Amino acid sequence: MRKCSLNAVNEVFAEIAKAAKLYLPVDQADGSAAFKEWENGVTWSSALNTVKSPKDLFFPQTEDLMAFKTEGKSIEVIDTRREVEDFVVFGVRACDVKSFEILDRVFIKEPVDSYYASKREKGVIVALACTKPSETCFCTAFGICAEEPCGDVSAWKTEDALYFRANTEKGEALMKRLEALTEECGEDAVNAQKEKTAQIMKKLPLAKLDTGAFGGGKTEQLFNAPEWDELSSACLGCGTCTFVCPTCQCYDIKDFNTGNGVIRYRCWDSCMYSEFTKMAHGNNRLTQKERFRQRFMHKLVYYPENNDGLFSCVGCGRCLAKCPISMNIVKVMKKLGGKDSE
Amino acid sequence: MQKIMREQLIEKAASLLNNGTVTAVLGWGKGEFDYDVTPAVFKTEEELKAGFVWNDFCGANFSKYLVKKTDRLEGKLLVFLKPCDTYSFNQLLTEHRFDREKVYAIGVPCNGMADIAKIKAVSGEGISAVDTNGEKIAVTTIYDDAPVMIDPADVLAERCINCKSKKHVAYDELLGEEGDVIDSARFDEVARLEAMSADERFAFWQNELSRCIRCNACRDACPACTCEKCVFDNPASGVENKSPANSFEEQLFHVIRAYHVAGRCTDCGECSRVCPQNIPLHLLNRKFIKDINEFYGEYQAGETVGSRAPLVNYTTEDIEPGEVFDRRDK
Ligand code: SF4
Ligand code: SF4
Ligand code: SF4
Ligand code: SF4
């Protein structure tokens, strides 16, 4: 384990930024935080979490895939991909770190999504342990340890110092670059903090949320549950929940007509949208109830069914904080799971 | 703290359910944390007692829900409306968006709603309870045994700081005392933007809108946005898009939406309330309202049912486009 004084973080950031683009949470004018590129003068936010998750850096909300240029009767196909350069994402919470495992299982499986895979290959994740979780946090329900985040490097911030532990080769390479700015140290301060956070996690209002009623094989039991009517009744179908979610992975591929060609790009899509399942024969999800059900069935039943029981929610709480009508996965779990979930 | 108590509303709703005046009640449903209230339909007295809430977090404007909730409904739906909600209610009636006969509207006085983000800025994260029943809002967090006491005036939602009316313009029955239309300072911020140079103003909006994630919450919560199919959702429209493809597209969506609701927007503030990125969308619409007031005389959308907005009502006294153009630098 290595550490540096909190007064020296900007030097650490500068050192990282010499060799790779560095992204970290930064406060925005409206008071919320967002992952932004670090440059001299940019201050690291102390916010618990960002509105949009760091997923955006690996699977951007819009991304050009290829382009076509027409001239007379010929069409030129243009490869718009750029060589991805090394980059570092600093300050990723344990829940968001876990979200990459969920996304990897979708994108880095045959056929591999090279757009995503190349960024995962080049990106280094420095995870940051939580010390002051919010009432909306329920990562523990999915076995995530907020005080001991994974990632290429794990980091802990105490009153006066920043502690680092490399977990992977990429992480070790990063720490090697920071050797002159950090010093070898014991683990006492970090252990004390972990213990403190673990105690706080137990006091969170959603600490006892239980996933027992969900998982693979539960489709028949849950799909036709009468509760979906009431749960989905006020849903606006806005898709805020899907766009702030670190694990939502659906996208659409669209052609943008430039006048003398086409830019083919992909953009996040949402199962909450009316056109989401539109196909040549029509649309098989005609009501908001069906769309709403899809989002939660996917996270709590279908995904685990196809991925060794892994749920595709990490309990980050973003959808709890941001849904305009305050409907969310926790309310769904408590309603459908009955007493067992509370 | 609200003047009307939750129990009064439940009693009223239960009596109307029990005597058959209404078959269902549209109200605010209890959440996980005292502040995360969800619009919900209640059908029995038991359901009301178990889940109906009325507190400083009942911001959601129910008027738009009436379009869908009264469709194919047997009997009448009881809806509770705050003063600002009644303007949207009238505007939707003007646009024939729901059947008035299917609704029993009760006006409830409102002391203003609290903004949970402002509360958290004072109390911090980790809220375990929020009590808005006293003079002060008491916020308890898991980090401290003693509650943080907050003056409700310090955490009022933006739209409530600039509340334009405590008067209900529509109801079948009113609970409590009627209020007045208020002289609000709601155009001050618009005037500040108008005073900027065009470049400054462009930079202001570009900066604000750059945070937009195109979740469409602003549109979906807006009572003036009730088109069966929004152009932005229609693949055949040519402008359908699920993400801001670039900064131009980002602005296009908001500018078109602002134009489409111009003259119909009642300034209820739902757009800014629901935006996950805290974009001050209401300022776009308020600019239109201010201009309409200045060009055509005072006009408040939703003040009455059936009024013709100046923008869709030609008169020979109408301002000439040239005059508007000449004012652009003033
Ligand atoms: S659950 Fe909430 S955030 Fe998600 S689509 Fe429905 S209203 Fe929007
Ligand atoms: S469903 Fe909600 S809590 Fe779960 S990962 Fe997505 S945003 Fe976070
Ligand atoms: S959900 Fe867990 S890991 Fe994520 S921010 Fe909250 S406490 Fe930290
Ligand atoms: S609610 Fe906010 S983030 Fe969502 S589309 Fe509207 S302005 Fe953009």
**Least confident segment among A220-224, A252-256, A297-301:** A252-256
Are B247 and B125 found together in one domain?
A: no
pLDDT value at B53 more than 70: yes
Mean pLDDT of A271-299: 93
Is the model's pLDDT at A10 over the cut of 90? yes
> What pLDDT score does A340 carry?
54
CA of B270: which chain A residue's CA is closest? Answer: A324
Among the candidates B147, B174, B201, a domain finishes at B174
Taking residues A253-271, report their average pLDDT. Answer: 90
Question: Is the same domain home to B193 and B82?
Answer: no
Of A28, A31, A205, the CB nearest to B128: A205
Domain ranges of chain A: 2-77+85-203, 219-341
Which run of H or of E encompasses A196?
helix A188-203
pLDDT for B292 beyond 90: yes
pLDDT band at B330 (very low <50, low <70, confident <90, very high): low
pLDDT of residue A325: 96
CA proximity to A292, closest of A224, A219, A214, A228: A228
For residue B261, tell me if it sits in a domain.
Answer: yes
Strands B103-107 and B173-174 come out as parallel
- For atom 6 of ligand 4, the residue with the nearest CA is B218
Instruction: Report DSSP letters for B105-126, one per residue.
Output: EEE------B-HHHHHHHH-S-
Residue A302 has pLDDT above 70, yes or no: yes
- B313, B284, B281: which is closest to B297 by C-alpha? B313
Measure the CA–CA gap between B15 and A334, rounded to whole angstroms: 30
Task: Write the ipTM.
Answer: 0.93
Tell me the percentage of chain B whose pLDDT exceeds 90. 78
| A227 pLDDT higher than 80 | yes
Same domain, yes or no, for B62 and B166? yes
Residue B236: what pLDDT? 82
Among candidates B143, B235, B278 on the partner chain, residue whose Cβ is nearest the Cβ of A32: B278
Assess whether B79 and B145 both reside in one domain.
Answer: no
Let me know if residue B252 belongs to a domain. yes
Pocket of ligand 2 (CB under 6 A): A 244-247, 299, 313-319, 329
Rounded to the nearest angstrom, the distance between the alpha carbon of A199 and the centre of ligand 4 is: 37
Residue among B230, B210, B209 nearest B221 (CA): B230
Collect all residues of chain A within an 8 Å Cβ-Cβ radius of residue B38: 234, 325-327, 331
Residue B114 has pLDDT above 70, yes or no: yes
Residue A272 Cβ inside 6 Å of ligand 1? The answer reads yes
Q: Is residue B179 part of a domain?
A: no
Contact between A206 and B207 using a beta-carbon 8 Å cutoff: no
Shared domain for B45 and B20, answered yes or no, is: yes
Q: How high does pLDDT run on average in chain A?
A: 95
**pTM, whole model, 2 decimals?**
0.94
Which pLDDT score is estimated for A267? 92
Q: What is the DSSP secondary-structure string of A246-290?
A: SS---EEEEEEE-SSEEEEEEEE--TTSTTTTEETTEES--SHHH
Q: What does pLDDT average to over chain B?
A: 92
**Which range is least confidently modeled, A137-141, A150-154, B292-296?**
B292-296
Confidence at B235, pLDDT banded by 50, 70, 90: confident
Number of domains in chain B: 3
- Percent pLDDT > 70 in chain B is 97
The answer on B284 and B150 residing in a single domain is no
Q: Is B181 contained in some domain? A: no
Residues B233/A252, Cβ–Cβ less than 8 Å: no
- Residue A236 — very low, low, confident or very high, per pLDDT cuts 50/70/90? very high
**Which of the four pLDDT bands, split at 50, 70 and 90, describes residue A158?**
very high
Residue contact A325–B38, C-beta within 8 A: yes
Query: Going by CA atoms, what residue is nearest to atom 6 of ligand 2?
Result: A245
Q: Which residue of A has its CA nearest to B61?
A: A325
Residue B101 shares a structural domain with residue B210: no
Q: Kindly report the number of other CB atoms within 10 A of residue B129's CB atom.
A: 15
Please name every residue paired with B80 in a beta bridge, in sequence order, or none if there are none.
B106
Residue whose CB lies within 8 A of the most ligand 1 atoms, among A51, A230, A232, A241, for a mutation test: A241
Tell me if B38 and A256 make a contact (CB, 8 A cut-off): no
CB contact under 8 A, B242 and A31: no
Same domain, B280 and B236: yes
| Domain residue limits at B141 | 116-155
Residue B72 has pLDDT above 60, yes or no: yes
Per-residue pLDDT tens digits for A27-77: 998 889 999 999 999 999 999 999 999 999 999 999 999 999 999 899 999
If asked whether residues B55 and B164 sit together in one domain, one would say: yes
Asked if residue A94 has its Cβ within 6 Å of ligand 3, the reply is yes
In chain A, the residue whose alpha carbon lies closest to the alpha carbon of B121 is A31
The answer as to whether B103 is a domain residue is yes
Write the CA distances from B116 to A108, A319, B173, integer angstroms. Answer: 39, 15, 30
B193 and B221 in a common domain: yes
What average pLDDT does range B180-197 have in this prediction?
A: 94
Interface contact A132-B125, CB threshold 8 A: yes
Q: Does ligand 3 lie within 6 Å of residue A315's CB atom? A: yes
Ligand nearest to the CA of B210: 4
B233 interaction partners in chain A (CB closer than 8 Å)? 273-275
Tell me if A130 CB under 6 Å of ligand 3: yes
Average pLDDT value for residue range B121-132: 95
Contacts of B121 in chain A (CB under 8 A): 31
Name the band, by pLDDT with cuts 50, 70 and 90, for residue B328. Answer: low
Q: Which residue of A has its CA nearest to B60?
A: A325
Give the minimum alpha-carbon distance from A164 to chain B in angstroms, rounded to a whole number. 25
C-alpha–C-alpha distance, residues B114 and B116, integer Å: 6
A28 C-alpha vs ligand 1 centroid, how far in Å?
A: 24
pLDDT score, position A342: 59
pLDDT at B323: 84
Position B189 pLDDT exceeds 80: yes
What number of CA atoms fall less than 13 Å from residue B230's CA on the CB side?
A: 24
Query: Which ligand is nearest to the Cα of residue A318, counting in written order?
Result: 2
Which CA distances in Å does B268 have to A163, B44, B224, B300?
A: 48, 30, 10, 11
**Cα radius of gyration (chain B):** 21
What is d(CA B93, CA B67) in angstroms, rounded to the nearest whole number?
10
Per-residue confidence (pLDDT) for residue B321, from 0 to 100:
82
Ligand 4 binding pocket, CB closer than 6 Å:
B 212-218, 274-277, 279, 281
Residues B53 and B169 in one domain: yes
What is the pLDDT, as a whole number, of residue B252?
83
CA pair distance A98, A103, nearest whole angstrom: 9
Q: Is the pLDDT of residue B243 over 90?
A: no
Residue B231 and residue B275 share a domain: yes
Q: Residue A125: which pLDDT band, with cuts at 50, 70 and 90?
A: very high
Ligand nearest to the CA of A53: 2
3-state secondary structure of A245: coil
Residues of A in contact with B143 (CB under 8 A): 132, 200
Q: Is A245 in the pocket of ligand 3 (CB under 6 A)?
A: no
SS3 assignment, position B182? coil
Residues of chain A with C-beta less than 8 angstroms from the C-beta of B215: 238-240, 243-244
The reply to whether B182 falls in a domain is no
In this predicted structure, what is the pLDDT of residue A339? 60
Q: How many CA atoms lie within 13 A of B77 on its CB side?
A: 25
Chain B contact set for A204 (CB, 8 A) = 126, 142
SS3 readout for B37-104: CEEEEECCHHHHHHHEECCCCCCCCCCCHHHHHCCCCCCCEEEEECHHHHHHHHHHHHCCCCCHHHEE
Kindly tell me if the per-residue pLDDT of B245 is higher than 70: no
